[in-house]
A and B are shown apart, each in its own frame.
Chain A
Amino acid sequence: MSLGKRIFQILVLVAFLFSGGMFLWQALLSNPHLLPLARLNQPLPVFSAPSLFKPDQKITEQAFKGRATLLNIFATWCMPCQLEQPVLMDIHQHYSIPIMGVLYKDQPENGLQWLKQRGNPYVAVMLDPEGKLGMDLGVYGTPETYLIDQNGIIRYRHIGTLSMDDWQREFVPLIEQGSHTK
Chain B
Amino acid sequence: MIPEIGLFSLLLALSFASAQVVLPWVGVKKHDKSLWQSARWFALAQFIFTSIAISFLAYSFLTDDFSVAYVAAHSNSHLPWFYKVCAVWGAHEGSMLLWVWVLTVWMTGVSFLSEAKHHPTIAWVLIVMALIAIGFYGFILFTSNPFIRLLPSFPTEGQSLNALLQDQGMMIHPPFLYMGYVGFSLAFAFAMAALIEGKLGYSWARWVRPWTLLAWCFLTYGIVAGSWWAYRQLGWGGWWFWDPVENASFMPWLAGTALIHSLFVVEKRDRFKGWAVVLALTTFSLSLLGTFLVRSGILISVHAFAQDPSRGQFLLLFFLLVVGISTLFYIFRAHTLSAPPEKVWWLSKEVFLLGNNLFLYVMMLTILLGTLYPLVLDELGLGKISVGYPYFNSVFIPLMVPFLLIMGVGPQVYWRETPTSVLWPRLGGVGVSVLAIATLAALYFPPYFSWGLWIGLVVVLWLFSNTAVYAWKLKHRTIPQWGMVLAHSGVAVTAMGIIVTTLFSQEHDVRMRVGETQTLGGYEYQWVRLMPLQGPNYSGVKAVFNLYQHGRLINTLSPEMRTYPEQHYSNPKAAIDVTLFRDIYVALGQPLGSDSWSLRVYYKPFIRWIWMGGLMMMIGGLMGFVGRMKHEPR
Contacts and interface: CB of A to CB of B under 8 A. Distances in A.
Interface in A16-42: 17, 20-21, 23-30, 32-33, 35-36
B376 to A, nearest CB: 6
Contacts of A21: 316-317, 320
B376 A23 contact: yes
A27 B292 CA distance: 12
A1 interface: yes
A168 B292 CA distance: 36
Interface in B50-65: none
Nearest to A18: B320
B103 to A, nearest CB: 23
A35 B324 CA distance: 34
Nearest to A26: B379
B316 A32 contact: no
B309 interface: yes
Interface in B312-347: 312-313, 316-317, 320, 323-324, 327-328, 331-332, 334-335
Given A13-B331, A32-B378, A27 B298 contact: yes
A9 interface: yes
A6 interface: yes
Chain B's interface size range is 20 to 34
Interface in B357-399: 372, 375-376, 378-379, 383-384
A13 B331 CA distance: 10
B299 interface: yes
Contacts of B334: 1
Given A1-B335, A23-B376, A24-B296, A29 B324 contact: no
Label chain A's interface by main secondary structure. helix
Contact of B313 (A20, A28, A32, A36): A28
Contact of B298 (A17, A20, A24, A35): A24
Contacts of A97: none
Given A6-B331, A28-B296, A36-B384, A17 B375 contact: no
Given A17-B320, A17-B323, A35-B384, A25 B332 contact: no
A88 to B, nearest CB: 28
Interface residues of A, number: 20
Q: Is the interface of B mostly helix, strand, loop or mixed?
A: helix
B592 interface: no
A83 interface: no
Given A17-B323, A36-B384, A23 B379 contact: yes
B300 interface: yes
B300 A33 contact: yes
A28 B332 contact: no
A35 B309 CA distance: 20
A30 B376 CA distance: 12
Interface in B272-322: 292, 296-300, 309, 312-313, 316-317, 320
Contacts of B327: 13
A10 interface: yes
A36 B383 CA distance: 8
A25 B299 contact: no
Contacts of A13: 324, 327-328, 331
Contacts of B383: 36
A165 to B, nearest CB: 20
A48 to B, nearest CB: 30
Nearest to A21: B320
Contacts of B313: 25, 28
Given A9-B331, A10-B331, A17-B323, A24 B316 contact: yes
A23 B375 contact: yes
Given A23-B379, A24-B316, A17 B324 contact: yes
Contacts of B378: 27, 30, 32
B364 to A, nearest CB: 16
Nearest to B299: A32
Contacts of B320: 17, 20-21
A32 B324 contact: no
A29 B335 contact: no
A17 B331 CA distance: 15
Contacts of B332: 6
Interface string A122-146: 0000000000000000000000000
B147 to A, nearest CB: 25
Interface in B169-197: none
B273 to A, nearest CB: 15
A28 B316 contact: yes
Contacts of B297: 28, 32
A26 B376 CA distance: 10
Nearest to A10: B331
B298 A28 contact: yes
Contacts of A27: 296, 298, 375, 378-379
A129 B487 CA distance: 58
Contacts of B312: 28
A28 B306 CA distance: 11
Contacts of B375: 23-24, 27, 32
Nearest to A22: B379
Q: Which of B309, B313, B317, B331 has the most CB of A within 10 A?
A: B331
Nearest to A13: B327
B304 to A, nearest CB: 11
Contact of B300 (A1, A9, A20, A32): A32
A23 B335 CA distance: 32
Nearest to A35: B384
A10 B316 contact: no
A17 B335 CA distance: 23
Contacts of A29: 309
A21 B316 CA distance: 7
A33 B383 CA distance: 14
10 contacts: A10-B331, A13-B324, A17-B324, A24-B292, A27-B298, A27-B378, A28-B298, A28-B309, A28-B313, A32-B299
Given A27-B379, A32-B299, 19 more contacts: A1-B334, A13-B324, A13-B327, A17-B320, A17-B324, A20-B320, A21-B316, A21-B317, A23-B372, A24-B296, A24-B298, A25-B313, A26-B379, A27-B298, A27-B375, A28-B297, A28-B298, A32-B298, A32-B375
Give the 3 A-B CB pairs with smallest separation, nearest first: A27-B298, A28-B309, A28-B312
